[in-house]
Chain A
Amino acid sequence: MSQAHTLPQGGFKQWWLKWRFHLNILLILIPLGFMPKYFADASLFRGDSGLGANVVQGLQVGRWTLDLAELRDEAPRADGPAGDFKAFNAALCNTCAEGVKAIYLRIGKPRSLRAAGSIFFGPPSRMGTNLPIPPRTRPDADIWVTIEGWDGKMYQASVPLAKASPATAAWLEKQGGNK
């Protein structure tokens, strides 16, 4: 009587009960598909694949030289009600972090040191910041790097947004500069 329960009837059901165990292999295969992206990201965040995309090399700010790059070659990402943001990385040349108190990034020329923009954080050889992109930014705008020195002075330089992040300029163009 109990045999009727343990021995299933029908070819397909028997085949399924025997082979469903092998679905486990899928659990190994699915993560394999994501591995190339995982390793690319890991190398990007470690800095093994450079500072980022569209590197602006040797930007002269005061007596310092700085490399600036967007983290990824892509349009800004929305952060809820706070607006759209674009991640940028920067690196000071190896021997010249001396005298730098803080580095800021802003679209358009800062009005004052208080409003110098978003601040870079991290080691001098690889700093990062999240730059807010105001909705009414023009595609031909410049981004300004402000270095605040320990001498209390402000040193500035600018680079066209279209050069530092072509994807952002194209995104702004598409929006017509007014969201």
Chain B
Amino acid sequence: MKHLMRRLALPCLLLAATPALAHNPMCECTESGEQITCKGGFSDGSGAPGVTLDVIGYDEQVLVASKLGADSTLSFKRPDGEFYVLFDAGPGHVVEVDHADIGAP
């Protein structure tokens, strides 16, 4: 037992010393046919169920106002014209995805 604890001491110490993890918001959108699917989350690996995700036209008209589902994704029909997807996890915690950056996976 003592031997085992000695062997595990260093790995345990190293694990305990991991630096503080940032949790920057992220959002990825892919297109299949007419449908666009966006998946939100945070860079520490956590999901973002229930977080606001809006699709906004270049004229600032909100085209789709919705929230991410339990699997942190949302699917919607590609709107006409120019738009961007706004993943909004609170003031200053947003990700914008431009329509030009949305393509097939």
Given contacts A102-B91, A117-B92, A119-B91, A82 and B24 within 8 Å (CB-CB): yes
B residues apposed to A, CB below 8 Å = 22, 24-26, 28, 42-43, 56, 58, 60, 84, 86, 88, 91-96, 101
Q: Which residues of B contact A132 (CB under 8 A)?
A: 24, 95
The secondary structure that dominates the A interface is mixed
Closest beta carbon of chain A to B68's beta carbon, Å: 16
| B94 (CB) vs chain A CBs: closest residue | A115
Size category, A interface: 20 to 34
Given contacts A79-B43, A111-B84, A114-B86, A130 and B24 within 8 Å (CB-CB): yes
Complex CA gap A117/B60 in Å reads: 16
- Let me know if B43 and A115 touch, CB within 8 A: no
Closest beta carbon of chain B to A86's beta carbon, Å: 12
| Inter-chain residue pair count (beta carbon < 8 A) | 49
**CB within 8 A of B88: which of A81, A85, A104, A114?**
A114
- Let me know if A115 and B24 touch, CB within 8 A: no
Closest beta carbon of chain B to A107's beta carbon, Å: 11
Q: Which residues of A contact B101 (CB under 8 A)?
A: 136
Q: Which residues of A contact B42 (CB under 8 A)?
A: 82
| B54 (CB) vs chain A CBs: closest residue | A114
- Let me know if A119 and B93 touch, CB within 8 A: yes
- Let me know if B24 and A104 touch, CB within 8 A: no
Complex CA gap A177/B25 in Å reads: 22
B-contact bits for A105-138, CB 8 A (1 contact / 0 none): 0000001101111111100000001101000100
Residue A80 lies at the interface, judged by CB distance under 8 Å to chain B: yes
Complex CA gap A79/B24 in Å reads: 8
- Let me know if A118 and B26 touch, CB within 8 A: no
Complex CA gap A119/B84 in Å reads: 20
Closest beta carbon of chain B to A128's beta carbon, Å: 12
| B90 (CB) vs chain A CBs: closest residue | A119
Q: Which residues of B contact A130 (CB under 8 A)?
A: 22, 24
